[in-house]
Structure formats: structure tokens, C-alpha cells
Amino acid sequence: MPAPTAWPMIAAFGLGFAFMGLLTNAVVSAVGLAMFVAGAVGWFREVLPVEHREPVPLATIVPVPRPARGPVKRMEAGVEGHRARLPVAIYPYSAGLRGGIAGGGAMAVLAIAYGLVAYGSPWYAINILAAAVLTDLASADAATLATFNAVAFGVACMIHAVGSVLIGLLYGVLLPMLPRRPVLFSSVVAPLLWTSLIWASLDVLNPVLDERIDWRWFIASQVAFGIAAGAVVARSERIATLQHLPLRVRAGIEASGLEDA
């Protein structure tokens, strides 16, 4: 069978970043072009000059009696055995929600630890995040950012919760496409890509955070998010897609005797 490869996805990410840089920063386009070239070259090397393959064990074939001659039975769309669109099984949206909540909690713990270690206050990182919306915090000094601000706390919690849930849902959609090492993608590959994008565009999105961010702690928090979210999503039970069901069932049409029609 053709060997699995992640190069097409890397090339797609790179192409997306290249266009995203037109709206954010030229560095994003440069990183995206580099990713696209690397993904394209890696993809080509997977198929040229010889396609990479991997052995797949075959089940023992039990001979069956040859059926009598008759008309050829053709597969129909919506019937089990028809050509499937991958992935056949996916994670429910609830898995992505739980993963986002778990990852957000892990990231919040590291952010509070950073504030305590660097500034002796758990509110510093929270106020820095809220400064993206609250303009009065944009010019605040370190002492002000180290004090509790109820409005800033509410804004930061909202930003963090929404971002965590959305990224958790994204993990829930992507991880079924990487069945071999989903946690590796969520804890290493995705945080590095996400950190690179933020590093290139943070001076536009949040100048205050860009001036005061400690990238070592930031990368550690992203990895912690990926590990927690990826582990929760990957351990969730998958559900089969509805692609094998008839269209009338997938459309939600209900009527007596319809299943037997």
C-alpha cells in the first residue's frame, strides 16, 4: 500500500500562511513559502522516482464455493461496502470541546506560574492578554499589570476560553486524519506552527504582549495545551460517519415505512 505521508498537509499549511502574510506580516509569507517548498519537495520525493510503500498484512483467505451464474450485483451509494471517503470514523464535537477546555486549563496554569515567578503576581499574564482589547492597559507599567483588575480578568477569561474551545474543535477535526501519532502532531507540530504565526503577527494583534512576552514560557504553554488537548481528543471514542447510510436517512427524513421502501 502507498506509505502515509504528512507532506501534502505541510504544503497546504505553507500555502495558507503565504497568503495570510499578505494581511499580517511579510515574515508570515516567508515562513509559509518555506513550508510550501519543503512540503512540495517532500511530497514529490514520496512518489518520485519510486513510490514509497509499506507492507500490509493480508488476512487468510478462506475459499468459498463459486456462486451460480447470474446478474452482476453492483454497489450502490449509501450501502456498506461502497467506496468510503476518509476518515471513516471521526471524533465527536464534544471531544474537541473537552480537549479545548483541558488544554486551556493547562495553558492557564503555566501563565499564572510565569506571572508568579517573573513578577510575583498571578495577574500579570492575565492583564497582558486583556491589553489586546483594553486600551488603558496598553500603556500600563509592570506594577499596574501585576494588580488585580476585574474587567481585565473577565475579558482575558473570555478571550482565552473562546480561543481554547476553537482550537480544541480544530484538533478534533484534524486528529482523525493522523491516526498513527495524533498526540505528536498536537503537542509538537501544531504548537510550533501556531507559535511561528503568532511570532510574525503579534506586533499587529497585540503590541503590548509583543513587547513583554517571554517566548520560552509562551512555547511551553502552547506545548502544554497541545499535550492536554491532544490526549483528551485522542482518547475519546470515535463515531462512524454517515456516508454509508442512504441519503434519506442522512437528510433526517422520517416517515412510516420509509426504511422498507
Using CA atoms, how far apart are residues 10 and 180, in angstroms rounded to an integer? 16
What is the structure's pLDDT at 136?
Answer: 78
Consecutive sets of 10 residues in the chain, 261 residues long: mean pLDDT of each? 80 86 81 88 81 75 68 60 65 86 90 89 86 77 86 90 88 74 75 80 72 82 87 82 62 51 43
What is the structure's pLDDT at 52?
Answer: 78
Cis preceding linkage at 49, omega within 30: yes
What is the structure's pLDDT at 76?
Answer: 58
What is the structure's pLDDT at 75?
Answer: 57
Nearest CA among 226, 185, 171, 169 for reference residue 4:
185
Q: What is the largest CA-CA distance in the chain?
A: 87
What is the structure's pLDDT at 187?
Answer: 76
**Cell numbers linked to 112:** 499564572
What is the structure's pLDDT at 255?
Answer: 47
Q: Which 3-state string (H, E, C) describes 68-121?
A: CCCCCCCCCCCCCCCCCCCCCEECCHHHHHHHHHHHHHHHHHHHHHHHHHHHCC
Using CA atoms, how far apart are residues 152 and 129, in angstroms rounded to an integer? 8
**Which residues, in sequence order, are CB contacts of 213 under 8 Å at separation 6+?**
128, 202
